[in-house]
Amino acid sequence: MSTEPAAAETTSASAAPAEGQRDFVRQIIRDDLANGKHHAIRTRFPPEPNGYLHIGHAKAICLNFGIAREFAGWCNLRLDDTNPGKEDPEFVEGIKDDVRWLGYDWHDLRHASDYFEVFYRAAVKLIEDGHAYVDDLNADEMREYRGTLTAPGRNSPHRERSVAENLDLFRRMREGEFADGAKTLRAKIDMTSGNINMRDPAIYRIRRIPHQNTGDAWPIYPMYDYAHCLSDALEGITHSLCTLEFEDHRPLYDWFVDKVDLANHPELWTHLREGGFKTEPAKPRQIEFSRLNLSYCITSKRKLAQLVNERLVDGWDDPRMNTLRGLRRRGFTPGGIRLLIERLGVSKQNSVIDYAIFENCVREDLDASAPRRLAVLDPLKLVITNLAEDHEETLSFANHPKDESFGTREVPFARELWIEREDFAEVPPKGFHRLKPEGEVRLRGVGIVKCEELVKDAAGNVIELRCTLDLDSRQGMPGADRKVKGTIHWVSARHAVAAEVRVYDRLFNVAAPDDESDGKTWIEHINPEAKRIVQAWVEPSAAATAPEQRFQFERLGYFVADRVEHGAQKPIFNRTVTLRDTWAKQA
Active site residues: 48, 291, 301
Q: What are phi and psi of 534, to 5 degrees?
A: -125, 150
243 is in an annotated binding site: yes
Cα separations in angstroms, 540 against 227, 374, 471:
55, 9, 25
570 belongs to an annotated ligand binding site: no
For 427, residues 6+ apart whose C-beta sits below 8 A from its C-beta are none
* Helix, coil or strand: residue 585: helix
Q: What secondary structure letter does DSSP report for 331? A: T
| 78, 235 contact by CB (below 8 A) | yes
Residue 348 annotated in ligand binding: no
One DSSP character per residue, 105-144 reads --SEEEEGGGGHHHHHHHHHHHHHTTSEEEE---HHHHHH
Amino acid identity of residue 203, one-letter, is I
Q: Which of 533, 532, 513 is CA-nearest to residue 521?
A: 513
Q: What single string gives the DSSP state of each residue in 293-326?
A: EETT----HHHHHHHHHTTSSSSTT-TTS-BHHH
Q: Which residues contact 320 (CB under 8 A, 6 or more apart)?
A: 313, 326, 330, 504, 505, 506, 507, 530, 531
> Known binder of ligand: residue 48?
yes
Rounded CA separation 34/168 (Å): 48
In sequence order, the 6+-apart residues with CB closer than 8 A to the CB of 524 are: none
C-alpha 245/C-alpha 115 separation (Å) is: 25
Q: Is 58 marked as binding a ligand?
A: yes
Residue 387 is assigned to a ligand binding site: no
d(CA 251, CA 225) in angstroms, rounded, equals: 11
- Is residue 57 marked as binding? yes
Distance from C-alpha of 290 to C-alpha of 362, rounded to nearest angstrom: 22
For residue 365, the 8-state DSSP code is H
The answer to the question of whether 291 is labelled as a binding residue is yes
55 is in an annotated binding site: yes
Kindly compute the dihedral angle of the four CA atoms of residues 349, 352, 358, 359, in this order, to the nearest 10 degrees: -160
**Three-state DSSP class for 584?**
helix
What is the crossing angle of helices 24-34 and 55-70, to 10°? Answer: 20
For Cα atoms 391, 392, 395, give the angle at the middle one, nearest 5 degrees: 135
- How many angstroms separate the CA atoms of 53 and 406, rounded? 33
Residue 264's identity, in one-letter code, is: N
The verdict on whether residue 56 carries a ligand-binding annotation is yes
CA gap 26, 39 in Å, rounded: 15
Going by the annotation, the residues of the binding site are 48-50, 54-60, 80, 224, 243, 291-292
Going by the annotation, the residues of the binding site for ATP are 48-50, 54-60, 243, 291-292
Going by the annotation, the residues of the binding site for L-glutamine are 80, 224
